[in-house]
Amino acid sequence: MRTSKRGRTGPTVLICLVGLCFFSIPAAARKGSQVLHKHVRPAVTNGQAARVGPMSKSQHMRLAIILPLRNQGELTNLLKRLYDPSNVDYRHFLTVAQFTQQFGPTKQDYQAVVKFARSKGFSVTHTPANRLLVHIDGTVSQINKAFHVAMTTYHHPTQNRTFYSPDREPSLDLSVPVTHIAGLNNFSLPRAKFKRAPANFRRNSTGSGPSGAYLGSDMRAAYYGGSALTGSGQAVGLLEFDGYNTSDVTASFAGQPNSVPIQNVLLDGASAGSDGDDGEQVLDIVQAASIAPGMSQIRVYIAPGTSQIGVGDVDIFNEMATDNIAKQLSCSWGWNPDDTAQLDPIFQEFAAQGQNLFVASGDAGAYTGSNSTDNSYPAESVYVVAVGGTDLTTNGAGGPWQSETAWLDSGGGPADDGFAMPSWQAGVANSSNQASTTIRNVPDVAAEANTDNYLCDQGSCTGDFGGTSFAAPRWAGFLALVNQQVVANGNSTLGFVNPVVYSIGAGTNYNNDFHDITSGNNSNGHGQSYNAVVGYDLVTGWGSPNGQNLINALAGSSSAASP
């Protein structure tokens, strides 16, 4: 395995949506000054989080100053054309350089922010190619002076820990517009979306692993079932917080071969090794590689496990965009961001460049309307494909798909943060599925997630793991198969898939292309649940992939891909 160390890095889709406003510059206290928003959590402003005291002025912090995109209206129109099959621009995706030239901040504006940062004593540690982020390192004292705040420590109102935050919204004496300063608080920490079976769980899976647990190879047999497509020429990118043990990866294949090279991309001083818990990282690698065993590489983007949300996530996603190597991306983590629009520019760049991000929908059942507890972001973003969970039955070890029901803990429902419904989701709501007619509904698709999957974590291997964490990288691997066929047919990659997925769902061949899951629900234990029903639902979306049928529907038929 090779490891490439990158400097601090930082920073999709659609057919839809009105242009979004990415920044706001309120009336300034003085000429050339701007006051930013959404850096101080309500728990601080309303006094719910008790103040502990000021942060040490000598403590160093890593931040990222985020600049807005230019020509937002033009970008919105371009994304419509890129995903409109009747348009001459259909799937004529941009390079990083083209995206930056048309929509990134100007060189002049970017250099003005760099100059500002250095004038305040910060070290500028990385300047990514799309010019969306200026990565800085400095002391708390420098941060207090540059942004007119007092960095303070508080007791977290719902968790047994402290967190830091500015005492007020930051302002900076700079005329160039800035959208956000990522990393000013660590109120929310990333949480992996996988879990172990409860003590009374009785496994009924028919997998190839010990005691019938499912291996990744069982998923390839169930959801693809062929042999011609292996993901050749494709790469999957994984977002991870903290590293992993290669021995756990090898052991999780349980004797099944793996020939997919793994490339670590280390950000923000991260280490490739595990800090004591590597289950999420390992399962993401193993599941993606098992579905598409002939990929050119899996790129594991790693930020430190201590990353505060707003830096690690921004850095990883932006690195994925500026690399533009992996066209299928997966995230099995959730968090509660400062600003739910903060990542939109990067997600839109994914879409413009033909990249697709799958995100696990969560393991707490029906959404409650409160992302502070569900960590449903970024699954609820309109720029990603949200992946729910199912309980799969195969026809024997390594056998084909036999049946599937909804997984009880599959995250789903109208978006907690109230994202407006994108145009490609219009028309899915009905009295049966209880979907919203105005808010983005989650999930979009689903795959096996019950707690009957084999996994090794810190040298301990059991078949009691599950979660939508497993489902998202499986879909990323499946898209690698699709994109292999897309390229073989002489076309570009598929890009953001939700517009075509929803078109298939509304079409006459839906039941040939997807496994429509019509039984089960996602009770959250608090009296809320949604039922799996015929067609789209808030537990499994449109369902799981029906092998070559769905691949042909997405990529176009190819004789070379016939089993």
What token pair was written down for 383?
């720029």
Q: Which of 25, 284, 9 is nearest to 126 (CA)?
A: 9
Q: Which of 438, 449, 425 is nearest to 536 (CA)?
A: 425
Q: pTM value?
A: 0.92
Q: Which residues contact 124 (CB under 8 A, 6 or more apart)?
A: 114, 117, 118, 134, 135, 136
Q: Are 346 and 357 in contact (CB under 8 A)?
A: no
Cα angle 103, 104, 108; round to 5: 125
Q: Which three-class secondary structure state does DSSP give residue 552?
A: helix
Bridge partners of residue 300, in order along the sequence: 238, 264
Q: Which residues contact 70 (CB under 8 A, 6 or more apart)?
A: 102, 103, 104, 105, 106
Q: Are 545 and 447 in contact (CB under 8 A)?
A: yes
Q: Which of 97, 93, 104 is nearest to 71 (CA)?
A: 104
Calpha distance 448→435 (Å, rounded): 22
- What pLDDT is recorded for position 32? 58
CB neighbour class for 106 (10 Å; exposed up to 12, middle 13-18, buried from 19): middle
Helix (H) / strand (E) containing 221: helix 216-223
- What pLDDT is recorded for position 375? 77
CB neighbour class for 388 (10 Å; exposed up to 12, middle 13-18, buried from 19): buried
What token pair was written down for 459?
């040298």
Half-sphere exposure of 432 (CA within 13 A, CB side): 10
- What pLDDT is recorded for position 310? 61
Q: Which residues contact 544 (CB under 8 A, 6 or more apart)?
A: 223, 390, 392, 401, 404, 445, 446, 447, 448, 514, 515, 517
Q: Are 440 and 414 in contact (CB under 8 A)?
A: yes
What token pair was written down for 281?
């990282």
Calpha distance 183→136 (Å, rounded): 10
Q: Are 452 and 204 in contact (CB under 8 A)?
A: yes
Q: Are 135 and 124 in contact (CB under 8 A)?
A: yes
Per-residue pLDDT of the chain (563 residues; tens, 9 = 90+): 444 444 444 434 333 433 333 333 333 334 558 999 999 999 999 999 999 999 999 999 999 999 999 999 999 999 999 999 999 999 999 999 999 999 999 999 999 999 999 999 999 998 999 999 999 999 999 999 999 999 999 999 999 999 999 999 999 999 999 999 999 999 998 999 998 888 888 788 899 999 999 999 999 999 999 999 999 999 999 999 999 999 999 999 999 889 999 999 999 888 899 888 899 999 999 999 999 999 999 999 999 877 655 688 999 999 999 999 999 999 999 998 889 899 999 999 999 999 999 999 999 998 988 766 667 899 999 999 999 999 999 999 999 999 999 999 999 999 998 899 999 999 999 999 999 999 999 999 999 999 999 999 999 999 999 999 999 999 999 999 999 999 999 998 999 999 999 999 999 999 999 999 999 999 877 788 999 999 999 999 999 999 999 999 999 887 555 44
CA dihedral 219, 222, 223, 224 (to 10 degrees): 100
Alpha carbon 155 to its chain centroid, in Å, reads: 29
Calpha distance 106→146 (Å, rounded): 23
Calpha distance 23→110 (Å, rounded): 15
Concatenating the DSSP letter of every residue in 81-94 gives HHT-TTSTTTT-PP
Q: Quickly name the fold that domain 1-563 has.
A: Rossmann fold (3.40.50)
Q: Are 379 and 239 in contact (CB under 8 A)?
A: no
